[in-house]
Structure 1
Amino acid sequence: MAGYVFNLNNMESLKKIINNGVYSTNLTEPTNNRWLAHHEGTLTDYLTMKEGDNVYFF
Structure 2
Amino acid sequence: MTAHELLMLEIERGQQVAGHFPSQEALHRAEMVLCGQMTPDQAFAELDAKFGL
Give the TM-score taking structure 1 as reference length: 0.31
More strand by share: 1
Q: Which has the higher contact order (CA 8 A, sep 6+)?
A: 1
Which structure is larger by alpha-carbon Rg, 1 or 2?
A: 1
Give the TM-score taking structure 2 as reference length: 0.32
